[in-house]
Structure 1
Amino acid sequence: MRLPQFGVRYPVTTVMIFVAIIVLSLFSLTRLGLDLMPEIEIPVIAVLTTYEGAGPEEVESKITKVLEDRLATVKNLDRIESSSEEGTSVITLKFDWGINLDEAANDVRDMVDFSTAFLPEDIDRPRILKFDLSMMPILILTATADESYPILYDLIDDRICDPLKTVPGVAAATIQGGLERQILVELNRSRLEAYHLSVDQVISALRKENLDIPGGHIKTGIKDYLIRTPEEVEVDEIGDIVVSTNEDGVAVYIKDIATVRDAFKEKTQEVEVNRKRGLIVIVQKQSGANTVQVTEGVYEKLEELKKTLPSDVKLLVARDLSDFIKGAIGNLRNALFVGGILV
């Protein structure tokens, strides 16, 4: 029996089949993830290492060359590229298409951990980054303040970024700009020479006084006590730290050779919003999450969080990726509607 004959002979069955198809299509549409770009796993991994105060040649010889020689042995590696700049080493590993990038990242991580013993002790731990289109920010917020600007970074970090990370689908909420608190110990060179001290001795003294060491457990009957040594130094205690003792038994303190200030990190970038000083909050979603749903969840959470901020702090949306997606879906819906009527 041909299809037209079946449709004419059994009209009710034909209608029920089309209704079922429409219902299943609408149900699938509600479950369909919405994103601007398809999920594409680019077979590229970057190893980023920061070495503050080092020049390009020093970064090249002590970090980049060491890591390159060992990372070159990772399997399925197609090409390796590197760049060494002041204080930063970037090694880009390009793999063959179709490989399991998670397994490749584990191999790279193991090799970096193995290479750590051959790197300078005072570098930051190398970071391993995978190139993923889902890492594109879905939302960029701006924050400005007048009287609260010196503490704006801490305010946004504690009251906005941390709570936003609990929204389903949000992977990260990071800050760019603003003033980040930093305790500065400014050494007096002439005083150091007078006391015959080196910078390394001062650093060693600070490290010894700023400890938080676990001490294991003590069992007494049915009770189990956790032992720890909380020796994290407070700002007003830094000046009283003993650096050394001279031949006469007189102690040399930090306050004798340095000035301690509760200040801010050196600014490397300036953020202005509508000609006002401010900062930027970048929100990223988890891989595979629905961009529109995640953005709506972030907006709902922001309405609650805004009530916890001082009155002079203003939050604005600078860029919303879901707007582009909603516009594209709207255009597609209109095209289908018009096409259905005309056809």
Structure 2
Amino acid sequence: MLPRFAVRHPITVTMIMLGIVILGAISVDRLGTDLFPSMYNPQLVVELQSGERSPQEMETRFARQLEGDVRSVSHVVDIHTLCRLGIVQVTVTFAWGTDMDFALLDVQKKIARYETRSDVDRVTLSQYDPQASPVLIYTMSGASRRDLDEIRRLAENVVKLNLERLDGVARVQVYGGVRREVLVKLDAYRLAAYQISQQNVADAIRQSNADASGGTLDYNNKAYTIKGIGRFGNIDNVGATVVGYKSSGADEDSLNTGNRQSGRVFEPEKIPIYLTDVATVTYTPADRTELVRLGGRDCLALYIYKEAEDNTIRVAKQAEEALDRMALELPILSFQRIYSQADFISNAIGEVESSA
């Protein structure tokens, strides 16, 4: 039957075969290449960061509220929460067949209010498996005598953001480096002379390092939002914090300057006492919890994760090209590839082709 039809209609058969060849060529170009078969994973991961609070405090302050908020989203079947030092990670599992795009929007609406809280450093929502392996691992180091804190800030504020903008990149994790913090070393003798307690100093620093909302101002048919910017921009701002007041009639040759004035209303006879009057303010490296070295030299590590259903080879290629461009634009940085999942896949495909 088929041979007879092919003999009687050669043009039709030729057009059908040509269509199959064209569809095959288009499909080959769009065919995904990955280490493992693509699997539908109806999970979302919410990660909340808040300073260095203990796991117990993270549970009572954030975890229970987060669980209650995301539990109200439709088609949620399971919630798993992990509390660590300063981090709450909530994994939300949905029913099979759930449209994850809509689920992502619903969960994003539920957690939006946490982003505006003053006690929350960062909230992220990801559609990836946190246990998945990275497709690329790079080390990042700077020129000689470069501060590791400066390199870390470049990695988090420049390199990481540029990589996460790439199509197919789900997340970039930065490890290592040094985080610089401000050390305030109080002078007990001066505190006693000014009659200021350590708690007074801590409260003054906390209150000064904050932004304040001033409402809105209606003028000329326009509404202007008023906001006071008060967060510290550098170490000089910290040292200029007013921790109290002294009487203007005090003896300037003595540290015992009289009773500290109270109240928030400005009075001419009040002379401010700055933090630098009772303490030494300096930069100091924070305690390191991660250490990354290559060839005995301190550096940073970049772990690059891809989206669940994207092409590993394509994502790895464009990430490598982006890092090469950044190495040219930022000559103070150098990148070295440590691991690439795309190399393993390419080698496996090459072995199959050579054996065929």
Instruction: Report TM bin, short chain.
Output: 0.7 to 0.9
> What are the residue-to-residue correspondences of 1:76-91 with 2, within 5 Å?
76-91=75-90
Residue 292 in structure 1 maps to residue 295 in structure 2: no
Quick one: distance in 2 between partners of 1:113 and 1:280?
30
> What are the residue-to-residue correspondences of 1:26-105 with 2, within 5 Å?
26-105=25-104
Q: Given the superposition, is the C-alpha separation of residues 107 and 10 from structure 1 closer, same or farther in structure 2, using an over 3 Å criterion?
A: closer
SS at match of 1:297: helix
Q: Given the superposition, is the C-alpha separation of residues 3 and 99 from structure 1 closer, same or farther in structure 2, using an over 3 Å criterion?
A: same
Quick one: distance in 2 between partners of 1:23 and 1:39?
25
Task: Give the CA deviation at 1:280.
Answer: 1.0
Quick one: distance in 2 between partners of 1:90 and 1:299?
29
- 1:324 is matched with 344
Residue 315 in structure 1 maps to residue 335 in structure 2: yes
2:44–2:93 CA contact under 8 A, matched in 1: yes
Residue 281 in structure 1 maps to residue 284 in structure 2: no
TM-score (norm 1): 0.74
SS at match of 1:131: coil
Deviations 1:231-290 (A, max 9, x none): 664432331222332227231212134332234443210001232211112334456543
- 2:324 is matched with 303
Q: Match for 1:128 among 125, 128, 133?
A: 125
Residue range with higher mean Cα deviation, 156-165 or 275-284: 156-165
Task: Give the CA deviation at 1:204.
Answer: 0.2
- 2:289 is matched with 268
SS at match of 2:289: coil
Task: Give the CA deviation at 1:309.
Answer: 4.3
Residue range with higher mean Cα deviation, 258-267 or 185-194: 185-194
Quick one: distance in 1 between partners of 2:166 and 2:71?
39
1:238–1:254 CA contact under 8 A, matched in 2: yes
Give the RMSD, CA atoms, in angstroms: 4.1
Deviations 1:119-172 (A, max 9, x none): 985233544333359975332211234433533324445664454455554455
User: If each structure's helix is expressed as a fraction of its own residues, which one has the higher value?
Assistant: 1
Q: Which runs of 5+ in 2 are unaligned?
A: 246-259, 262-268
Deviations 1:52-90 (A, max 9, x none): 343333333333333334444443222333343443333
Task: Give the CA deviation at 1:25.
Answer: 1.3
SS at match of 1:262: strand
Quick one: distance in 2 between partners of 1:225 and 1:86?
40
- 1:148 is matched with 146
TM-score (norm 2): 0.72
Q: Given the superposition, is the C-alpha separation of residues 18 and 43 from structure 1 closer, same or farther in structure 2, using an over 3 Å criterion?
A: closer
Q: Report the residue type matching 1:58 in the other structure.
A: E
Q: Report the residue type matching 2:186 in the other structure.
A: N
Q: Report the residue type matching 2:62 in the other structure.
A: I
- 1:341 is matched with none
2:75–2:95 CA contact under 8 A, matched in 1: yes
Quick one: distance in 1 between partners of 2:172 and 2:214?
30
1:185–1:258 CA contact under 8 A, matched in 2: no
Q: Which runs of 5+ in 1 are unaligned?
A: 339-343
Task: Give the CA deviation at 1:108.
Answer: 3.3
Q: Report the residue type matching 2:128 in the other structure.
A: F
Task: Give the CA deviation at 1:195.
Answer: 0.9
1:183–1:260 CA contact under 8 A, matched in 2: no
1:170–1:284 CA contact under 8 A, matched in 2: yes
Number of residue pairs the alignment of both structures matches: 327
User: Percent identity of the aligned residues?
Assistant: 25
Quick one: distance in 2 between partners of 1:92 and 1:324?
30
Q: Given the superposition, is the C-alpha separation of residues 73 and 7 from structure 1 closer, same or farther in structure 2, using an over 3 Å criterion?
A: closer
Q: Report the residue type matching 2:46 in the other structure.
A: V
Residue 139 in structure 1 maps to residue 133 in structure 2: no
Q: Report the residue type matching 2:341 in the other structure.
A: L
Deviations 1:9-63 (A, max 9, x none): 5667655643443343123212323333444342223333334343333333333
Q: Given the superposition, is the C-alpha separation of residues 56 and 23 from structure 1 closer, same or farther in structure 2, using an over 3 Å criterion?
A: closer
2:53–2:86 CA contact under 8 A, matched in 1: yes
Q: Given the superposition, is the C-alpha separation of residues 133 and 32 from structure 1 closer, same or farther in structure 2, using an over 3 Å criterion?
A: farther
